Amino acid sequence: MAFAAFGSTAGPVEQAPRRRSWVALVLLLPGLAYLALFFLTPLVSLVLTSFQEPVEFGDVGQFQQAFKIENYATVIEAYWPHFLRAFGYAIVATIAALLIGYPLAYFIGVKCRSKPLLQAMLLTLVIAPFFISFLLRTLAWKQLMADDTPLVQALKSLSVLPADGHLTGTAFSVIFGLTYNFLPFMTLPIYTTLERLDTRYLEAGADLYASPATTFWKVTLPLSLPGIVSGTLLTFIPASGDYINASSSFLGSAQTQMVGNAIEANFLGLLNYPEAAALSVILMGLILVIVGIYVRRTGTEDLL
Amino acid sequence: MRFSLGKWLLPLYSALALIFLLTPIVYTFVFSFNDSVKSNIVWVGFTLDNWTNVCDAQGVCAAFGTSILVGVVATLIATVLGTLLAIALARYRFRGRSVISLLLFLPMATPEVVLGAGLAAQFLTAGVPKGLGTIIIAHALFCLSFVVVTVKARVASLDPALEEAGRDLYGSAFQVFTRITLPLLMPGIIAAALLSFALSFDDFIITRFNNGGVETFPVFVYTAAARGMPPEANVIASAVFILALVIVVVAQTTSAARRKRLARAQ
């Protein structure tokens, strides 16, 4: 599993295979039934809903089953910029999180190895954001980036930002928020692979007259690839479906709405369930395609 | 010395990254002491009132209670189902194993907004009224996969010889499971339950699609974000943060102490 690197998995010990498969069946049945009922059925239900049409002379929010495939054309026409923004923002945020998270993970996992106490402390700081409401953390950034804060004033006096410019409600603040929110998800899997990295390989690289940069590109980076793949997936997938950062009450504005915002607005606000469902199906499909290609390209299928 | 550059640049860069991660936490904590009534945006003055009278802000304690209730029940369901799945997957070879692994991976690869909308569409089609029950169902679902991943790692690292010894001593299958397997798996199960509770407690997106009118703590914060955040919300978040931090630090120091003891015993 790509996410296996998330927990510190010691190499799987091969267990003696047992034949009492009815025991396995009893163990599996409750969990599988739960997944069938509350994961697979909802996905089917989503696909069915996406083909529904309004009931004639019905109220808002009343739909009947049909095969109205035009729903898909309608939402693509209406919301293609939302899809572009969602994937664009998510890709930039994933790259930013990798650039921030990798050196941090390297420092904690490799450089701090001789000091276990410091290592444990720094690791706790990386997961600390999990312990406090992510909505409040995002609001904190909104307030730190508000128009009258010292930060914005300083940017304006340095002419980085025009005098009438804002930080919040821009693509920058949304990507900033996404990067911030998913940074621990990027850092932890990379840390897990780097923490197990055998530093003798690095010494071997140096002994063979490779520069530190060459050793990094040829040895460290390939060995930490599983962590990078896990981390980028754990960042990219939730980021592309997120709608908190891009919503107007948080870091976004009407100009930064992502697909998640469109799904939320259609489902919960406008009660336009078929269009919300069609948007969800397209989003899910695109993510599966992107993740599939990515995993194949990086040659890490066996992680799944 | 491998990276002469890394000597000071890497620690500095890491420190900056950590400051980036921690700034909003410090901000939330500081503003829990703000002497403001409704919108907690501008610093007014220092007060302890928010901490001593947390429940004064309307709805904040009720929402907190609901979140605890949802978290506990959803964690129980996810931990029991997930542990059984993890044992089956790590211990038995059977047909369709890879399909089941994929099925468990998919919920983690599905964006929350799709999971939430899917469940909501299903409840709508089935005519199930949304409320506390539907929130719990949804939370247990997204926690399940994380429990399986966490516990499976623990089952895989278990030494089968210990269970064989139990059987050699004429322990029944049930006795071997309850006296040997389960206690050995406990650290993994507890870790999974804590992770599951943390995921449930902080979930907003899936909850939003399935809560009916029920307010969990994140739903409260979301609604308050539009009409003005009471500082009491910061108090609750900060208190939970401190509690979680204490749990992690205690767990780390006890496991470090145990390792030291084991090292001495050898």
Q: How confident is the model at residue A8 (pLDDT cuts 50, 70, 90)?
A: very low
Residue A154 falls inside a structural domain: yes
- pLDDT for the residue numbered B147: 94
Q: Decide if pLDDT at A2 tops 50.
A: no
Q: pLDDT for A168-203, tens place per residue?
A: 889 999 999 999 999 999 999 999 999 888 888 888
Q: CA B38 to CA B115: how far, in whole Å?
A: 34
- pLDDT for the residue numbered B44: 84
Nearest CA in chain A to B118: A42
Q: CA A143 to CA B148: how far, in whole Å?
A: 38
pTM of the model: 0.89
Identity of the residue in B106, B153, B252 whose CB atom sits nearest the CB atom of A9: B153
A37 in the same domain as A101 = no
A53 in the same domain as A120 = no
- pLDDT for the residue numbered A297: 85
Interface test with B, best of A75, A135, A283, A289 (most B CBs within 10 A): A135
A131 in the same domain as A201 = yes
Identity of the residue in A144, A242, A267 whose CB atom sits nearest the CB atom of B117: A267
* Contact between A125 and B22 using a beta-carbon 8 Å cutoff: yes
Domain count for chain A: 2
A59 in the same domain as A208 = no
Cβ contacts (< 8 Å) between A43 and chain B: which residues? 118
- Judge whether B117 and A280 are in contact, CB under 8 Å: yes
A91 in the same domain as A63 = no
Length of chain A: 304
Identity of the residue in A24, A32, A49 whose CB atom sits nearest the CB atom of B92: A24
Give how far A289 is from chain B: nearest CA, Å. 12
- Domain containing A107 equals 78-303
Q: Which residues contact A38 (CB under 8 A, 6 or more apart)?
A: B119, B122, B137, B138, B140, B141
Last residue of a domain, one of A68, A94, A117: A68
Sequence-separated contacts (24+) of A204-209 with Cβ below 8 Å:
A206/B2
A209 in the same domain as A160 = yes
A189 in the same domain as A92 = yes
Residue A12 falls inside a structural domain: no
Cβ contacts (< 8 Å) between B110 and chain A: which residues? 237, 284, 287
* Contact between B105 and A2 using a beta-carbon 8 Å cutoff: yes
CATH number at residue A197: 1.10.3720.10
Interface test with A, best of B64, B113, B208 (most A CBs within 10 A): B113
Q: Could you give the count of Cα atoms lying within 13 Å of A286 in the half-sphere of its Cβ? A: 19
- pLDDT for the residue numbered A4: 41
What does the pLDDT profile of chain B (266 residues) look like in tens digits? 455 555 789 999 999 999 999 999 999 999 999 888 767 778 888 988 889 888 888 888 999 999 999 999 999 999 999 999 999 988 888 788 888 988 998 998 899 999 999 999 999 999 999 999 999 999 999 999 999 999 988 888 888 888 889 889 988 888 888 898 889 999 899 989 999 999 999 999 999 999 988 999 999 999 988 888 888 899 999 999 999 999 888 888 887 787 778 777 76
Q: pLDDT for B219-243, tens place per residue?
A: 999 998 888 888 889 999 999 999 9
Two structure tokens written together for A43 = 């996905």
A137 in the same domain as A33 = no
Q: CA A159 to CA A153: how far, in whole Å?
A: 10
A217 in the same domain as A82 = yes
Cβ contacts (< 8 Å) between A27 and chain B: which residues? 84-85, 87-88, 92
A with B: how many residue pairs have Cβ under 8 Å apart?
289
* Contact between B241 and A243 using a beta-carbon 8 Å cutoff: no
A35 in the same domain as A118 = no
Q: CA A79 to CA A85: how far, in whole Å?
A: 10
Residue A83 falls inside a structural domain: yes
By three-state DSSP, how is residue A53 classified? strand
Residue A183 falls inside a structural domain: yes
Last residue of a domain, one of A37, A68, A99: A68
- pLDDT for the residue numbered A89: 97
Residue A19 falls inside a structural domain: no
- pLDDT for the residue numbered A161: 80
Last residue of a domain, one of A68, A96, A117: A68
Q: Could you give the count of Cα atoms lying within 13 Å of B220 in the half-sphere of its Cβ? A: 25
* Contact between B156 and A233 using a beta-carbon 8 Å cutoff: no
Cβ contacts (< 8 Å) between A2 and chain B: which residues? 105
Two structure tokens written together for A10 = 């010691």
A287 in the same domain as A182 = yes
Identity of the residue in B85, B125, B205 whose CB atom sits nearest the CB atom of A28: B85
Give how far B219 is from chain A: nearest CA, Å. 9
Q: Decide if pLDDT at A9 tops 70.
A: no
Two structure tokens written together for B244 = 């979680």
DSSP single-letter state for residue A18: B
Beta bridge partners of A64: A53
- The number of angstroms, rounded, from the C-alpha of A2 to the middle of its chain's C-alpha atoms is 13
Residue A3 falls inside a structural domain: no
Q: CA A153 to CA A202: how far, in whole Å?
A: 46
Residue A163 falls inside a structural domain: yes
Identity of the residue in B118, B149, B249 whose CB atom sits nearest the CB atom of A6: B149
Cβ contacts (< 8 Å) between A221 and chain B: which residues? none
Residue A11 falls inside a structural domain: no
* Contact between A34 and B140 using a beta-carbon 8 Å cutoff: yes
Q: CA B167 to CA A292: how far, in whole Å?
A: 45
Identity of the residue in A124, A140, A273 whose CB atom sits nearest the CB atom of B248: A124
* Contact between B121 and A146 using a beta-carbon 8 Å cutoff: no
A160 in the same domain as A56 = no
Nearest CA in chain A to B153: A9
DSSP per-residue codes, chain B: ---TGGGTHHHHHHHHHHHHHHHHHHHHHHGGGB--SS-TTS---B-SHHHHTGGGSTTHHHHHHHHHHHHHHHHHHHHHHHHHHHHHHHHB--TTHHHHHHHHHHHHHS-HHHHHHHHHHHHHHHTPPPSHHHHHHHHHHHHHHHHHHHHHHHHHTS-HHHHHHHHHTT--HHHHIIIIIHHHHHHHHHHHHHHHHHHHHH--HHHHHH-TT---HHHHHHHHHHH---HHHHHHHHHHHHHHHHHHHHHHHHHHHHHHHHHHH-
In this predicted complex, what is the ipTM? 0.88
Interface test with B, best of A131, A188, A261 (most B CBs within 10 A): A131
* Contact between B226 and A249 using a beta-carbon 8 Å cutoff: yes
Q: Which residues contact A297 (CB under 8 A, 6 or more apart)?
A: none
Two structure tokens written together for B62 = 């009720």
